[in-house]
Amino acid sequence: MRTVPAAITTARQSASSRLAKIWRIERTDGTVLRFTEHDRDLVVDGETFLATASFDPSAIKASADMSVDDLEVIGAFDSAYIEPADLLAGRFNGASFWVAEVLWDNLAAGKDVLRFGRMGNIRESGGKFSAELLGATWRLQNPIGDLYSATCRATLGDAMCGVDMAAHTFSGTVVASADRKSFTATPDSPAWSIPSGDDDYFAFGLVTWDTGANAGFSMEVYSFDGTDCELLLSLPFDIEPGDTFTIKAGCKHDRPTCRDRYDNIRRFQGEPDVPVSDDLVKGPVRGVDQGETTTPPFDGDTAGQEA
């Protein structure tokens, strides 16, 4: 149950402006940022919230019908607090936050937490960023449980899949780079090995950067022949010679790949044989998918046919 300090309730009922908002953001890498809209730093519960005029939050709203509500905050880039590079690298994606109100002249009165949740979409334009802050009810938008699908729902190497990725993970060093999504590399020890005849072994795999400007960032592989690598999307920063990375083999999430490449068909998490809606309403088709039908077409003559 939410309990509002009596002093804050009294201040809200008065005409004087003694309230100030404080923000606490914890990124997925553990970095914690604290801000306040007040004109000086505030120390609340032993944590220092830095004064900044770069945040402009929209009106905070809440609903009692469990509908998903959200909040948006707009701010200017400040190298001392939030750098554009951190946003481009996705370091704020999924960050947890809470926003509260305090009495700036009586911090001992406590705080009233107005909203908590996680950061959603983050956009940048003209030196400013706009962040969508999702309330706790954002999880209601996500499906609960699994839906059947023709392709495998597991992620290669996770608990559902069960493939040991140690034998399919390699490291390398960049030799040259044409742009932010393609580069030439040499293998580190042990050397990577592409199975004979499996030209798309690394397609849909994952490159994770160990050093360089993109350190800690991952991107899916579009193609890799053992020398030249092309990523699915461009990285946020330049790829430089000497940058080191780890590359994992990929998976098409289909039955042949699971069976032939990883010998893991027992844990295949797809249902390619489940009929789709069209299959439920159409009958046997001669020589198509279902095989040659043995049922002769009805020609209107009922002679000799069972009732």
Tell me the C-alpha distance between 169 and 243, whole Å. Answer: 17
The number of domains in the chain is 2
| Per-residue confidence (pLDDT) for residue 275, from 0 to 100 | 79
Q: What is the pLDDT of residues 171-225, one digit of tens each?
A: 999 999 989 999 999 998 677 777 777 778 999 999 999 999 999 889 999 999 8
Backbone angles phi, psi at 154, to 5 degrees: -75, 155
Please answer whether residues 27 and 53 qualify as being in contact, where contact means their C-beta atoms are separated by less than 8 angstroms: no
Domain membership flag for residue 48: yes
Q: Report the percent of the chain where pLDDT is more than 90.
A: 36
Please answer whether residues 174 and 189 qualify as being in contact, where contact means their C-beta atoms are separated by less than 8 angstroms: no
Domain membership flag for residue 297: no
Same domain as 259, residue 174: yes
| Per-residue confidence (pLDDT) for residue 68, from 0 to 100 | 46
Q: What is the pLDDT of residues 105-148, one digit of tens each?
A: 999 988 998 888 888 777 777 667 777 777 666 566 666 677 78
Across 19-33, 122-136, 290-304, which has the greatest mean pLDDT?
19-33
| Per-residue confidence (pLDDT) for residue 162, from 0 to 100 | 92
CB hemisphere CA count around 283 (13 angstroms): 6
| Per-residue confidence (pLDDT) for residue 51, from 0 to 100 | 86
Same domain as 187, residue 251: yes
pLDDT at 19 over 50: yes
Average pLDDT estimate for 277-292:
58
- Domain hosting residue 244, numbered range: 165-266
Tell me the pLDDT band of 229, cut-offs 50, 70 and 90. very high
75: nearest Cα among 47, 27, 33, 113: 33
Same domain as 123, residue 15: yes
Chain length of the chain? 307
Q: Report the percent of the chain where pLDDT is more than 70.
A: 75
pLDDT at 96 over 90: no
| Per-residue confidence (pLDDT) for residue 221, from 0 to 100 | 95
CA distances from 227 to 170, 233, 249 (A): 13, 18, 14
Domain membership flag for residue 105: yes
Same domain as 69, residue 128: yes
Same domain as 11, residue 108: yes
| Per-residue confidence (pLDDT) for residue 18, from 0 to 100 | 86
Same domain as 177, residue 116: no
Tell me the C-alpha distance between 247 and 171, whole Å. Answer: 6
Q: Which tokens go with 278?
A: 């069209």
239: nearest Cα among 213, 210, 217, 218: 213
Is pLDDT larger for residue 274 or for residue 307? 274
pLDDT at 306 over 50: no
| Per-residue confidence (pLDDT) for residue 248, from 0 to 100 | 93
- 44-48, 121-125, 157-161, 205-209: which has the minimum mean pLDDT? 121-125
Collapsing DSSP to helix, strand or coil, 243 comes out as coil
Same domain as 172, residue 134: no
pLDDT at 300 over 60: no
Same domain as 106, residue 17: yes
Is pLDDT larger for residue 150 or for residue 129? 150
Same domain as 129, residue 216: no
Same domain as 83, residue 22: yes
Average pLDDT estimate for 22-26:
88
Domain membership flag for residue 69: yes
Beta strands in 189-250 (DSSP E): 206-209, 218-224, 228-231, 244-248
Domain of residue 254, CATH code: 2.40.10
Domain membership flag for residue 75: yes
Q: What angle do CA 204, 210, 215 make, to 5 degrees?
A: 90
